[in-house]
Copies of this chain bind each other. A is one copy, B any other.
Amino acid sequence: MKAMVLFSGGLDSTTCLALAIQRFGADHVIPLSIYYGQKHTKELEAARQVLTHYKIEGLEIDLTKMFSFSNCSLLQHSDEQIPEQSYEEQLKNSNGSPVTTYVPFRNGLFLSAAACIALSKDCSYIYYGAHRDDAAGNAYPDCSSSFHDAMSTAIYEGSGKALQLIAPFVGMTKADVVQIGLSLHVPYELTWSCYEGNEKACGKCGTCRDRIQAFLKNNYTDPILYDAQ
C-alpha cells in the first residue's frame, strides 16, 4: 500500500507526512510539493529540508498559471497586503467571505492534481493536513469537513474506487496537530508556515499567530525564530 502526501513544508503537512510515514513506512510514501506562485519559496525550501531529514524523495510540480487571474494576497503578482491579524479578527470584517489569504479552490486543485499523479504511481491513499481551525468561520472553506467529505467521495468515485482521501486532522485543532507531531518527533525547527518570506517568521500574520498559540497550548515553545511575537 502506497500513500501520496500533499506536503508544503508547513507545520500541518509535515505532521501529516510524519503520520503517513509511521503508518506506511518511508518507502511507501510519496510527498508531493506544489509551487503555485507564492510571494516566496521558503515553504518549498523547508519541504526539501524535511525530506532530507526523513531521507525520502518527493515530487514537485508548478501550478502557478492556474492562479494567474487571482489577486489573492499570498500570490507574487498580487498588490494586496497580507493582513497582520489573527483569522478571527480578519473574519469580523469579511462579511462571511473567506479571508484574503484564501487561494481560490487551492486545496481542490492540489488534491485533484495529487489524485492524477497518485493513480499513475499506484497509490491507494492521498493524505493532507487540513484541520478544524483553518476552516473555522469560513476562513478557508477548502479546509472544512464538508469540503473534505465531498472531495473524498469525488476522488473515490472518479478514480473507479481505486483511491481514498484521508484528512487525519480534519476534526482537530492546530494544537491537537502539534500534540501528535511532538509525539512523532516531527522536526518542527525545519518547517516554515509564515506567509511572508523574510529570514525569520513575522509572528504577525494569521498563520504565525495560530502556530505560536498551538505550541503554547502544548506548553511548548515553537522552535523556529520570529521577528516579533
- Name A159's contact: one of B105, B117, B163 (CB within 8 Å): B105
Distance in angstroms from A101 CB to nearest chain B CB is 13
List chain B residues, Cβ under 8 A from A102.
160
A69 is contacted by which of B96, B117, B141, B160 (Cβ under 8 Å)?
B117
On whether the beta carbons of A112 and B116 are closer than 8 Å, the reply is no
Given contacts A105-B115, A154-B150, A120 and B159 within 8 Å (CB-CB)? no
Residues 102 to 153 of chain A near chain B (Cβ within 8 Å): 102, 104-109, 111-113, 115-117, 119-121, 138, 141-142, 144, 146-147, 149-153
Which B residues touch A109, using CB under 8 A? 109, 112-113, 115-116
Identify which of residues 48-99 in chain A touch chain B, using a CB-to-CB cut-off of 8 Å.
Answer: 61-62, 65-67, 69-71, 96-98
> Per a CB cutoff under 8 Å, which of B66, B69, B71, B150 touches A153?
B150
Contact A154 B151 (CB under 8 A): yes
User: In the bound complex, what is the Cα–Cα distance between A108 and B141 (angstroms)?
Assistant: 18
Whether A105 and B157, one on each chain, are in contact in the complex, defined by CB atoms closer than 8 angstroms, is: no
CA distance A111 to B117 in the complex (A): 16
Contact of A105 (CB < 8 Å), options: B106, B116, B161: B116
Contacts of A71 in B (CB 8 A): 120
Which chain B residue has the least Cβ–Cβ distance from A72?
Answer: B120
Q: Is A171 an interface residue (CB 8 A)?
A: no
Q: Which 7 pairs across A and B sit closest by C-beta, in order of nearness?
A: A150-B153, A104-B119, A69-B120, A150-B154, A142-B158, A112-B112, A141-B160
* A-B contacts, 26 listed (Cβ < 8 Å): A62-B65, A66-B113, A70-B119, A71-B120, A98-B160, A104-B116, A104-B120, A104-B159, A105-B115, A105-B155, A105-B159, A105-B163, A108-B116, A108-B155, A109-B109, A109-B112, A109-B116, A138-B160, A141-B157, A142-B157, A142-B158, A146-B153, A147-B158, A149-B153, A150-B151, A151-B158
- List 18 other contacts, CB 8 Å, given A66-B117, A150-B157: A62-B65, A66-B116, A69-B121, A70-B120, A96-B160, A102-B160, A105-B115, A105-B155, A105-B159, A108-B116, A108-B155, A109-B112, A141-B161, A144-B158, A147-B154, A147-B157, A147-B158, A153-B153
